[in-house]
Amino acid sequence: MTRKTVRIAMNGVTGRMGYRQHLVRSVLAIREQGGLDLGDGTVLWPEPVLVGRREHALQDIAERHGLEHWSTDLDAVLADPAIDIYFDAQVTSAREEAVRKAIAAGKHVYCEKPTATGLEGALELAGLARDAGIKHGVVQDKLFLPGLLKLKRLIDGGFFGRILSVRGEFGYWVFEGDWQEAQRPSWNYRAEDGGGIVVDMFPHWEYVLHELFGAVKSVQAHVTTHVPTRWDEQGKLYDATADDAAYGIFQLEGGAVAQINSSWTVRVNRDELVEFQVDGTEGSAVAGLRACRVQHRSATPKPVWNPDIPATERFRDQWQEVPDNGEFDNGFKAQWELFLRHVVLDEPWRWDLFAGARGVQLAELGLKSSAEGRRLDVPELTAGVLL
Ligand SMILES: NC(=O)c1ccc[n+]([C@@H]2O[C@H](COP(=O)([O-])OP(=O)(O)OC[C@H]3O[C@@H](n4cnc5c(N)ncnc54)[C@H](O)[C@@H]3O)[C@@H](O)[C@H]2O)c1
């Protein structure tokens, strides 16, 4: 086997996503498995170069994982011809500028969602990347979750018949930060820092709906900030200027309707932190991050509405577990491997910065719909052109 090294500048690796999912669970996990086998006698070996603002934090991570390269000077890293890929998992508000620089330096680009803070910026990045002829991608990890892969298997196998509706329930209680520490960074609750649940979650809903059920044709959202003040990492009280809950209805190409609640102000009475119920003429399914349960029309009970008597059946017990039928890798790692193959082997890839821009577009229109109190059409974006 010949080993081919690919050098990846990884910015934002001190953060939650950058460290755990992208560095440890993806890039380092690929190294632990011996690299990425390209199937032609070559093994791809990702070599991360940690980039960030705090020297001691980077050094600390590098030492912990036996890594040699780290820098606080993004410009110098991008000027290094040995760097192949720029990856960005910084706070959202810092992404656009850094990605623009990476494209100008001729690096391939892979980044977290949302790709920019507004549609104009997201489209500009995608256009620049296309014109520069680099490979580019956005993280769309939910597509690689076991629960959603099972759902996709059901769709591809024709289980549902005609899909009528999708009900998504996402959320959990994020502590305010006074008597219990908040489990998400405080910038998520400040609009001026790129926070807000719409900006965070609608990009996910865009690609999940698009890839599984059909492109989103219209959006109607009610967006709110239920908890107006919170305590930050220093224990200081601050105004939560960003939305912490969004109640959205999405009309999909093909006629199905999706209704998704996203909330950091809800207590979980579900099996998983996100669940989608899909109802079709032939059957229904409830998929979470990992599990998926189904009920076929032939096994559907016939309840009769009568509030005077207790429930006669245990409805949740009437569903059947969908088997794994295989092993599921970490979703972030699975997508990293596809991106690396796209970069070095030119294999097909559709999760590019234009796909990322669609997510930003849906978030922007969701917020607008709520502010204006009306349903908005979602114009189609084809290679950066609004149709
Ligand atoms: N794909 C997913 O499921 C998913 C989940 C959560 C977050 N995200 C995205 O990942 C990105 C990072 O989110 P996170 O939760 O890891 O955030 P985080 O606050 O834990 O990490 C942010 C990172 O950005 C760096 N940074 C650069 N400039 C900064 C600045 N001006 N202020 C503060 N930090 C700065 C920090 O040092 C840190 O490394 C966001 O864009 C978010 O939308 C994606």
Residue 308 is given by DSSP the state T
Please give the domain boundaries of the chain with CATH numbers for all domains: 2-141+331-361 (3.40.50.720), 142-326 (3.30.360.10)
- Structure tokens, 297: 């029309």
In short, whether 369's Cβ falls inside 6 Å of ligand 1 is: no
Q: How many CB atoms lie within 10 A of CB 41?
A: 8
In which residue are the tokens 């980044």 written? Answer: 111
108 and 85 Cβ atoms separated by less than 8 Å: yes
- Terminus-to-terminus CA distance in the chain, angstroms? 48
Q: Distances from the Cα of 361 to the Cαs of 37, 128, 257, in angstroms?
A: 36, 18, 19
**Could you tell me if residue 346 is left (phi over 0), alpha (psi between -120 and 50 degrees) or otherwise beta?**
left
Q: What is the DSSP string of 226-288?
A: S--EEE-TTS-EEE--S-SEEEEEEEETTS-EEEEEEESB----SSSSEEEEEEESSEEEEE-
What's the gap between Cα 208 and its chain centre?
A: 9
Tens digit of each residue's pLDDT (9 = 90 or more) over 169-200? 999 999 999 999 999 999 999 999 999 999 99
Q: Does residue 81 have a cis bond before it (omega within 30 degrees)?
A: no
In short, whether 12's Cβ falls inside 6 Å of ligand 1 is: yes
pLDDT at position 385: 57
Rounded CA separation 282/300 (Å): 10
Amino acid in position 329: D
In short, whether 20's Cβ falls inside 6 Å of ligand 1 is: no
Global confidence as pTM: 0.96
Strand (E) or helix (H) holding 359: helix 353-372
27 and 10 Cβ atoms separated by less than 8 Å: yes
Q: Is the pLDDT of residue 339 over 50?
A: yes
Which atom in ligand 1 lies closest to the alpha carbon of residue 17? 16
Amino acid in position 211: E
Q: What is the mean pLDDT of residues 39-52?
A: 97
- Structure tokens, 38: 């390209």
Question: Predicted confidence band at 312 (pLDDT cuts at 50, 70, 90)?
Answer: confident
Question: Predicted confidence band at 384 (pLDDT cuts at 50, 70, 90)?
Answer: low
Q: What is the mean pLDDT of residues 360-369?
A: 98
Which atom in ligand 1 lies closest to the alpha carbon of residue 52? 37
Which atom in ligand 1 lies closest to the alpha carbon of residue 15? 21
pLDDT at position 387: 44
What's the gap between Cα 190 and its chain centre?
A: 20
Spell out the SS3 assignment of 328-347.
Answer: CCCHHHHHHHHHHHHHHHCC
pLDDT at position 386: 52
- Structure tokens, 82: 């040995």
Q: What is the mean pLDDT of residues 332-355?
A: 98
Q: What is the mean pLDDT of residues 137-154?
A: 98
Tens digit of each residue's pLDDT (9 = 90 or more) over 81-121? 999 999 999 999 999 999 999 999 999 999 999 999 999 99
Which atom in ligand 1 lies closest to the alpha carbon of residue 53? 37
In short, whether 200's Cβ falls inside 6 Å of ligand 1 is: yes
Within 8 A by CB and 6+ apart from 203, the residues are: 113, 114, 356, 359, 360, 362, 363
Q: How many CB atoms lie within 10 A of CB 324?
A: 13
Which atom in ligand 1 lies closest to the alpha carbon of residue 12? 39
In short, whether 208's Cβ falls inside 6 Å of ligand 1 is: no
In short, whether 331's Cβ falls inside 6 Å of ligand 1 is: no
In short, whether 137's Cβ falls inside 6 Å of ligand 1 is: no
Q: Does residue 228 have a cis bond before it (omega within 30 degrees)?
A: no
pLDDT more than 70, % of the chain = 99
Q: How far is the CA of 309 from the centre of ligand 1 (A)?
A: 51
Backbone CA torsion sign across 141, 147, 153, 156: negative
- Crossing angle (nearest 10°) for helices 119-132 and 353-372: 170
Tens digit of each residue's pLDDT (9 = 90 or more) over 237-290? 999 999 999 999 999 999 999 999 999 999 999 999 999 999 999 999 999 999
Rounded CA separation 84/78 (Å): 9
Q: What is the mean pLDDT of residues 151-162?
A: 98
Q: What is the mean pLDDT of residues 49-60?
A: 97
Within 8 A by CB and 6+ apart from 304, the residues are: none
**Strands in 28-69 per DSSP E:** 36-37, 42-51
Quick one: which of 352, 327, 328, 330 has its CA closest to 339? 352
In short, whether 115's Cβ falls inside 6 Å of ligand 1 is: no
Q: What is the DSSP string of 165-185?
A: EEEEEEE-BPP-SSSS--SS-
